[in-house]
Structure 1
Amino acid sequence: MATLSTPPVSLPRHPNTTTTTVNNDLLSLIDQCTNTKQLQQVHARMLRTGLFFDPYSSSKLITASALSSFSSLDYARRVFDQIPQPNLYTWNTLIRGYASSSEPSQSIVVFLEMLYRGCELPNKFTYPFVIKAASELKDLLIGTGFHGMVIKSSLGSDVFILNSLIHFYGSCGDLDLAYRVFLNIPKKDLVSWNSMITAFVQGNYPNKVFEMFREMELENVKPNDITMLGVLSACAKKVDIEFGRWVCSYIERNEIRVNLTLNNAMLDMYVKCGSIEDAKRLFDNMQEKDVVSWTTMLDGYAQLEKYDEAHRVFEAMPCQDIAAWNVLISSYEQNGKPKEALATFRKLQTSKTAKPDEVTLVSTLSSCAQLGAIDLGRWIHVYIKKQGIKMNCHLTTSLIDMYAKCGELEEALEVFNSVERKDVFNWSAMIAGLAMHGRGRAALDLFSRMLEAKVKPNAVTFTNILCACSHTGLVDEGRNLFHQMEPIYGVVPGLKHYTCMVDILGRSGHLKEAMQFIEEMPIAPNASVWGALLASCRLHGNVELAEKACSQLLELDPKNHGAYVLLSNIYAKSGKWDQVSGLRKFMRDSGLKKEPGCSLIEVNGIIHEFLVGDNSHPLSKEIYSKLDEVATRLKSVGYAPNESHLLQLVEEEGMKEHALNLHSEKLAIAYGLIGMGPSQPIRVVKNLRVCGDCHSFAKLISRLYEREILLRDRYRFHHFKEGHCSCMDFW
């Protein structure tokens, strides 16, 4: 038998060897090739001996070049183009190779070329490959065309083709057509059932999966591991732990082959159903584990916020790939722990065990946005450029959001304008950025540009544009947009949109209209709707309506401390001190406490956090000394603390004399004056709405100290410069 060496191919050369033996030996070398270079050597010898022009021999070479583990479709195509009259098997091989490649459209191109040449007609082996290509492309029109060709070719009852069509229609999301194909299969095999189950899983119809599984039982079709993968996925989507446990016992009882993939599916089901104990038992008993197994367990602990256990799993992982880092970072970010997310990202940078990918950067940018960490946000933007990372919609949207929430609206606009093909998420994020900065007119102009660009707005877009109208007092514009949502744009208003409308009307003093609007809502108002009305009552001092709104709000959310605080402030503003005392006593007796004010400021890339009355900062003495200096300067120009705002600090009895100076945003601003250069803007992020006294305080500081202050509260941005605020005192 001939052997293959990597450089020159050794071929029999003795004169006594017959042509047939040489050819057979030459063909056997194709099976021994382990790389393209070796295959090319065999190809060259086949051309010299003329063996290449034998249809069987050339098809064997094409198969190796297109379908082997070292396949090169570019090379396979060049080989194919040398064949004078390729047979149907050869065409099918090339079509199949492209269908499974990163360029499935080429599979269809080759198919059309075969039809154009007219030398071969597609058969029952051709169609599954081109239908697979259409599935990869999710092109309903092309795939439906193939379906028609199948019927015309009298192949409409071929089970292999029909199974491919189920997969195709499922991939395109047309489950009705997929099911119709399934029902019309004369003799369904296991692949038919599995294909339909997979289609229902992909379409997020777990109940249909369960129905199919029961039908299989009734039809005496024995499921295999692929079937059970689909059923377990449906359990995970349905979050049905009891049925999930039954499925796992069913697998064991029926001795279904359990491989690593099926074990991982069981693990994933347990985690998504919230049963970390079941997941741990299975994980500990698994003889074979891969990175998916470890990452699933890590994700399970992280989603339950059991971070000690999550870190133990992380440290024990044989390989800490980027997916594992992403689980920790995104879990912290999604569970309201942005500081921990950034700390984990910095560990990733120093560990050098993995390289940040798109998911890492999106989660980290979101954490930067939450904290106002502009320095790290800018660094990530530079990193993306230096690493040549493709700017897809997720990254661009995250960058726009980060810059806008960190107070850099112009940089957000720069990123937005740099995107050639903007999707609805890019537009919506930029509209949101303009809205939170009080640029209502600019947001409306951008919305108009979005419509001109033929981008259809979605529910999020309307939430953002209505917020822009609310922050800027654009009542008529807000009304018009709200009433156009469903009839013109096909977006059914949800509770967020109704809340925005109540806010638009209420803020502008149209309280009676706001109340009527709530009464006429086609859906039941939630706590947010009543909260918006209550906040408007505080602004305009309407006690009677405030009591009604507060009563409705507390009926829906009895532990909403914010409602009591708002009503207390409204009573105080109206001089109803007995009611103020009653509310304060009720809150104390009920154990309800106002959410403490918390402000963040980034100085030299480090986030500093201040709570109300905080003295834990290492420079606490200097900060309070600076505040005393600021207070003296402010009093010299006529500033007097507005003690009515003390009422917002319901739980802070006995601190009235100094309480206003203890507000967290004042501590953060004072630290900014100490730790930042005169040309640097002071950026503060606060968890609550900024109070009127702190607002006045920041305006005066911006003038007396000639500093730009960017204060982001729970609802919007305030840009303080030269004694003025961008909100024009409408917030």
Structure 2
Amino acid sequence: MATSCTPAINLPRLSHHQKPVSATVNIDRSLLLQLDQCSDFSQLKQIHARMLRIGLFDDPYSASKLIQAAALSHFSSIEYAQKVFDRIPHPNLYSWNALIRSYASSQEPINALLIFIKMLCESDELPNKFTYPFLIKASALLSALPVGKGLHGMVLKSEFGSDLFVLNSLIHFYAECGCFDMAYRVFLSMQKRDVVSWNSMIMGFAQGGYTEESLDLFRRMEGENVKPNDVTMIGVLSACAKKLDLELGRSMHLYIRRNGIKETLILNNAILDMYTKCGSREDAKRLFDEMEEKDIISWTTIIVGYTRAGDFNAARSVFRTMPYQDIAAWNALISAYVQNGNPKEALATFNELQLRKKAKPDAVTLVCALSACAQLGAMDLGGWIHVYIKKHGIKLNCHLTTALIDMYSKGGALEKALEVFHSVESRDVFVWSAMIAGYAMHGCGRDAIDLFLKMQEAKVRPNSVTFTNLLSACSHSGLVDSGRDFFNQMEPVFGVVPGIKHYACLVDILGRAGNLEEAVDVIENMPISPGASVWGALLGACKLHGRVDIAERACSNLLELEPQNDGAYVLLSNIYAKSGRWDKVSELRKLMRNYGLKKEPGCSSIEVNGNVYEFLVGDNAHPLSKNIYLKLDEIASRLKSIGYVPMKSQLLQLVEEEDVQEQALNLHSEKLAIAFGLISTSPSQPIRIVKNLRVCDDCHAVAKLISKLYNREILLRDCYRFHHFKEGSCSCMDYW
């Protein structure tokens, strides 16, 4: 919706400065009337042809009328308008403005600025109060702050420095570019303000996250007796939604009705959006049912509202009752499943979309589907999507490129991720960061650092995500000095203030390497309060190095922040068991029972022939369960023949009965998935497994042995990183 007023452009009258058309030329003025009434492009071309035959095109006023019809009518063609314009010997200012205005609203707004430069260089015409708003609009669309500032300077030097339309467009421009202080300075400098001035500032503050400023301005607007309209209330509701202030949002809804503000479709959609973001399904549903007019935004908003609340059945029900399910609605549902950790449902919905063939997937659909594939490790389907992109000639924008790199990296195909990375010319910070993350999760720390250095050579500025991925790469590869150096360079060199995730990575880097005292020192001197991830990183490091004293402190702080964190109990229990402190193990088990906590069950998934199969501990739900357990028995027998001894210490904190310890170890989800992979895939195929938890020491040792005994490559992704098992060894070098 517009927040700046678009001034009407009045056609110029013939002035005494313009050369009159020769009397010998038969000027059919009725043609100009026909131009005003022209309803389609073919009719326009006929009028143009007649104007050329009778010489009317040489008249600047008549030519400007033709430009107006070609550039600004509902059937306009900017290409045709440009060709017409190029044939005008001496275009008047109205013709220049019409072309600038058309380009400012096009897919290529930069052309509006180029036409303006051409006007300054090749014409005697000077910009007027109708020229500047469209140039400033083009600058806003391009986020071209220096250009907009230059135009602002030209305005101040001209006679239009106090023009209401021009100043309103400047407020909108600065807000769009995130320069809220400049927008507010322009607003305060205005001698006269209309409702558009207030709306532009209120909306700008709201969209920029300055919710209190936006609401304060609304109150000031009322105090100055400026009557708010529907656009005002859209800005105010946006601020309420960002604040998650349901009560204030309700009061604004009541304010709209009490003050007779016209409840347009766009305004109702804004109210609906506010209710869904503030978590009130009841208010949202009531309004949705009351709305006489609904569009795709209304339907998708209510769908998203239900999915945010976790009510996917209601979301599905609304989706089924939609009069027309366009791609935006499908995207809303697929995206909601992905964002709520339901990748299987997301892909099922994506497959349903493909089967129905009523809407065509767009770039957003494919990004969501690829994200679901990445979560599941479903590389067959992810590869199919990549082929689909190529087959349909879909341009790889940065979002799609990032999603493909992420999918291949998390699917275990680092080489394919690199192919995608090197195949594109345009790489933003997220594309670079995704590739660094790919290296990190595969334990290729040196490669991640090399890529980071190339990123700097490419003049791409790293952001917070880049450093999280880079520090993770250092952690997984034991590059302590590099990790410490990069962390220390973040703010002074790159202007990125370290956050909780970065401190957690640094603690992990130091802790994994055994520098636990230094890790504790980092935590004690943090300028921000340590979060759960920081204490969790320290606790994990204590398990590796058996430091009970520090582990108890880390666990205590972690549970203070997250009392229901079952993983913290399990980790400390592991540490106690490793040091032989069984009394403490028993105490922790009792505490977990008293608090009703249970260890999160291990779940491993494997993709075979495009289908993803999930296994839990001791799972027997698979149709081939009998064959899987026969294979497990075979594996156990072969392992014993080469001297393998189960690491029962892995279960001492959870399984008390000695006779079931070995059996429980043998039923871990990743072992079931590996057995299924051995009987379901060809020997030449790698077995790709995704696990929700950290792989245990015993499963890690078994996977190494299986890779040698069966001559199979096993790619196992746990919640921390990838493990490439091949010929009896793992890519992590037992450092994970």
TM-score normalised by the chain length of structure 2: 0.94
**Is residue 216 of structure 2 the alignment partner of residue 230 of structure 1?**
no
Separation of aligned partners in 1, 2:691 and 2:627? 21
Separation of aligned partners in 2, 1:88 and 1:535? 71
**Is residue 282 of structure 2 the alignment partner of residue 277 of structure 1?**
yes
Find the counterpart in structure 2 of residue 728 from structure 1: 733
Match of 2:66 among 61, 72, 93: 61
Match of 2:252 among 247, 256, 278: 247
Find the counterpart in structure 2 of residue 370 from structure 1: 375
- CA contact 1:565–1:650 (8 Å) conserved in 2: no
Where do 1:294-693 residues align within 5 Å? 294-647=299-652, 649=654, 655-693=660-698
Structure 1 residue 630: deviation in Å? 1.0
Match of 1:716 among 695, 698, 721: 721
Separation of aligned partners in 1, 2:188 and 2:627? 78
Find the counterpart in structure 1 of residue 11 from structure 2: none
Other structure's SS at 1:455 match: coil
Other structure's SS at 1:658 match: helix
Find the counterpart in structure 2 of residue 104 from structure 1: 109
Separation of aligned partners in 1, 2:507 and 2:623? 44
Structure 1 residue 105: deviation in Å? 2.1
Structure 1 residue 456: deviation in Å? 1.9
Find the counterpart in structure 2 of residue 130 from structure 1: 135
Residue range with higher mean Cα deviation, 559-568 or 624-633: 559-568
**Is residue 19 of structure 2 the alignment partner of residue 43 of structure 1?**
no
Separation of aligned partners in 2, 1:657 and 1:25? 97
Change in 2 beyond 3 A, CA 1:512/1:115: closer
Equivalent position amino acid for 1:378 in 2: G
Where do 1:198-217 residues align within 5 Å? 198-217=203-222
Separation of aligned partners in 2, 1:452 and 1:111? 35
Q: Deviations over 1:2-61 (max 9, x none)?
A: xxxxxxxxxxxxxxxx99998243222223322222111111112222222333322222
Structure 1 residue 218: deviation in Å? 0.8
Structure 1 residue 281: deviation in Å? 1.0
**Is residue 166 of structure 2 the alignment partner of residue 161 of structure 1?**
yes
Other structure's SS at 1:23 match: coil
Separation of aligned partners in 2, 1:343 and 1:433? 26
Change in 2 beyond 3 A, CA 1:354/1:118: closer
**Is residue 175 of structure 2 the alignment partner of residue 177 of structure 1?**
no
Separation of aligned partners in 1, 2:158 and 2:552? 75
Q: Deviations over 1:58-117 (max 9, x none)?
A: 222221111100111222222223333322222222222222222222222222232223
Separation of aligned partners in 2, 1:115 and 1:465? 49
Change in 2 beyond 3 A, CA 1:333/1:155: same
Separation of aligned partners in 2, 1:435 and 1:130? 45
Q: Deviations over 1:689-716 (max 9, x none)?
A: 1111111111111111111111111111
- CA contact 1:668–1:684 (8 Å) conserved in 2: yes
Separation of aligned partners in 2, 1:655 and 1:154? 89
Change in 2 beyond 3 A, CA 1:514/1:650: farther
Find the counterpart in structure 2 of residue 84 from structure 1: 89
Find the counterpart in structure 1 of residue 120 from structure 2: 115
Structure 1 residue 204: deviation in Å? 2.3
Structure 1 residue 653: deviation in Å? 8.8
Find the counterpart in structure 1 of residue 18 from structure 2: none
Match of 1:26 among 26, 31, 54: 31
- CA contact 2:99–2:112 (8 Å) conserved in 1: yes
- CA contact 2:577–2:653 (8 Å) conserved in 1: no
Equivalent position amino acid for 2:552 in 1: E
Separation of aligned partners in 2, 1:622 and 1:113? 77
Match of 1:190 among 195, 217, 220: 195
Other structure's SS at 2:716 match: strand
Structure 1 residue 298: deviation in Å? 1.1
Residue range with higher mean Cα deviation, 235-244 or 339-348: 235-244
- CA contact 2:143–2:177 (8 Å) conserved in 1: yes
Change in 2 beyond 3 A, CA 1:302/1:183: same
Separation of aligned partners in 2, 1:652 and 1:336? 35
Separation of aligned partners in 1, 2:702 and 2:586? 28
Other structure's SS at 2:474 match: helix
Equivalent position amino acid for 2:80 in 1: Y
Find the counterpart in structure 1 of residue 264 from structure 2: 259
Separation of aligned partners in 2, 1:64 and 1:375? 52
How many residues align structurally? 714
Q: Deviations over 1:585-622 (max 9, x none)?
A: 22223221111111101111111111011111111111
Instruction: Give unpaired runs (5+ residues) of structure 1.
Output: 1-17
Separation of aligned partners in 1, 2:98 and 2:462? 45
Change in 2 beyond 3 A, CA 1:309/1:29: same
Separation of aligned partners in 2, 1:119 and 1:489? 47
Separation of aligned partners in 2, 1:369 and 1:90? 52
Other structure's SS at 1:656 match: helix
Change in 2 beyond 3 A, CA 1:93/1:549: closer
Amino-acid identity (%): 69
Structure 1 residue 651: deviation in Å? 8.7
- CA contact 2:25–2:55 (8 Å) conserved in 1: no
Other structure's SS at 2:400 match: helix
Separation of aligned partners in 1, 2:101 and 2:451? 47
Separation of aligned partners in 2, 1:473 and 1:82? 68
Structure 1 residue 625: deviation in Å? 0.9
Change in 2 beyond 3 A, CA 1:127/1:533: closer
Q: Deviations over 1:222-244 (max 9, x none)?
A: 11112112112221222211111
Q: Deviations over 1:356-410 (max 9, x none)?
A: 1111111111111111101001001111111111111111111111111111111
Residue range with higher mean Cα deviation, 347-356 or 552-561: 552-561
Separation of aligned partners in 1, 2:41 and 2:162? 39
Separation of aligned partners in 1, 2:368 and 2:454? 29
Q: Deviations over 1:514-540 (max 9, x none)?
A: 222222222222222222222222211
Other structure's SS at 2:652 match: helix
Equivalent position amino acid for 1:547 in 2: E
Change in 2 beyond 3 A, CA 1:623/1:205: same
- CA contact 2:275–2:284 (8 Å) conserved in 1: yes
Separation of aligned partners in 1, 2:152 and 2:461? 32
Residue range with higher mean Cα deviation, 444-453 or 608-617: 444-453
Separation of aligned partners in 2, 1:492 and 1:479? 15
Structure 1 residue 146: deviation in Å? 1.9
Instruction: Give unpaired runs (5+ residues) of structure 2.
Output: 1-22
Separation of aligned partners in 2, 1:375 and 1:651? 41
